[in-house]
Structure 1
Amino acid sequence: MSTHTQEPPVRHPDAYAVVVADTVDDVEHLNELLHSNLPVLLVRDLDQARRLMDGDPPADPVRRPAPLRVSHLEIRPDEQRALWHGVPLELTAQETGLLARLAREDTGVVSFPQLVRDVWGASCGVDTTVIHSAVRRLRRKLEQAGVDVGIASVRGYGLRLAPPARKPSAN
């Protein structure tokens, strides 16, 4: 009769975990769930993780891109923040990314495939129902915060930001 004891997992001395999370609290919660004592590398998004894994140097922290502005809405994609009249909005990183992608579009309309690639980081697996769901939540949050910049749907094609209508000047 042989007794088999389970050996502890072999860990490579250079092992670490890469975690995509919004906050350090998220990482600590994940560490508790995994019962892990691995070093953790916290990244903001999959693009940052890919750059680090590919060995690309981190962006120069001194030269941040200028915030994107639409009316009184300021979007800071590098900080994953959006502000309305200088007041931070309670948005997820994905919602901020969606706003930023729409604000960056020179032609106005961003197609659904472009949104999937640029916001969700995938070329497939995300259909328009996922996008519409995310947009519905984002619209609700913007409306609750009093933001007058909207998100307009271009049926069958994509989305665009809808800046507030200009009031006619009284002459």
Structure 2
Amino acid sequence: MSTHTQDPPLRHQDAYAVVVTETVDDIEQLNELLHSNLPVLLVRDLDQARRLMDGEPPTGSGTDTPRPARLRVGRLEIRPEEQRALWRDAPLELTAQEIGLLGCLAGHGGSVASYRELVQDVWGASCGVDTTVIHSAVRRLRRKLEKAGVDVEIASVRGHGLRIAYGGQQTSVN
């Protein structure tokens, strides 16, 4: 029987681990190996890690295409860069995640945004976010929109993703 003495956990105020992986399971295994409580930054690839370390903002879906400044679904206006959403020019009380969801859906112009696209765009990950997380977030968003009297529909397209519409009309980008 071999005896293994564990090294003390790393305890440096500014320390963190950067993990290039596509699964959360890999992070858990790494934490066990390190025997630490280091903050962990999950990235999809080395290019993303380099961009983050250089202080560049995340690209979301992995493309360098800039997002439009304003998106409209009927009288709902989404301003992703400002982290704001307005209904009939009045600001809505939404979280950054909820605004991200609206922005992603509105950016698809009424067509379906796949679950994979939603995860990449809203959560900034290629995986590790289950569809139940998406559905929970959408349920909370629907409740807030309904409470505010916002007349838009976020529809689930079974097995594919979500889409947004206002009175059957398509969205527009300004």
Unaligned regions of 5+ residues in structure 1, if any? 1-8, 18-45, 58-63, 167-171
SS in 1 for 2:100: helix
Task: Give the letter for the 1:121 counterpart.
Answer: G
Report % sequence identity.
68
Structure 2 length as normaliser, TM-score? 0.60
- 1:103: Cα distance to partner? 0.4
Q: Does 1:115 align with 2:118?
A: yes
Q: Is the 8 A contact 2:110 2:164 kept in 1?
A: no
In the other structure, the counterpart of 2:160 is 157
Q: Does 1:101 align with 2:104?
A: yes
Question: What's the CA shift string for 1:39-95, capped at 9, x where partnerless?
Answer: xxxxxxx9xx975632449xxxxxx94311111100000011100001100000000
The count of aligned residue pairs is: 119
Q: Does 1:132 align with 2:135?
A: yes
Unaligned regions of 5+ residues in structure 2, if any? 1-10, 17-42, 58-66, 170-174
Task: Give the letter for the 1:99 counterpart.
Answer: L
Structure 1 distance, partners of 2:105, 2:118, is 9
In the other structure, the counterpart of 1:25 is none
Moved over 2 A (4+): 49-57
SS in 2 for 1:148: coil
- 1:123: Cα distance to partner? 1.2
Please identify the structure whose Cα radius of gyration is greater. Answer: 1
Task: Give the letter for the 2:145 counterpart.
Answer: L
Task: Give the letter for the 2:129 counterpart.
Answer: V
Q: How does 1:6-155 map to 2 (within 5 A)?
A: 51=51, 53-56=53-56, 65-106=68-109, 108-155=111-158
SS in 1 for 2:163: strand
Structure 1 length as normaliser, TM-score? 0.61
Cα 1:101/1:71, change in 2 over 3 Å: same
Q: Is the 8 A contact 2:80 2:100 kept in 1?
A: yes
In the other structure, the counterpart of 2:19 is none
Task: Give the letter for the 1:54 counterpart.
Answer: D
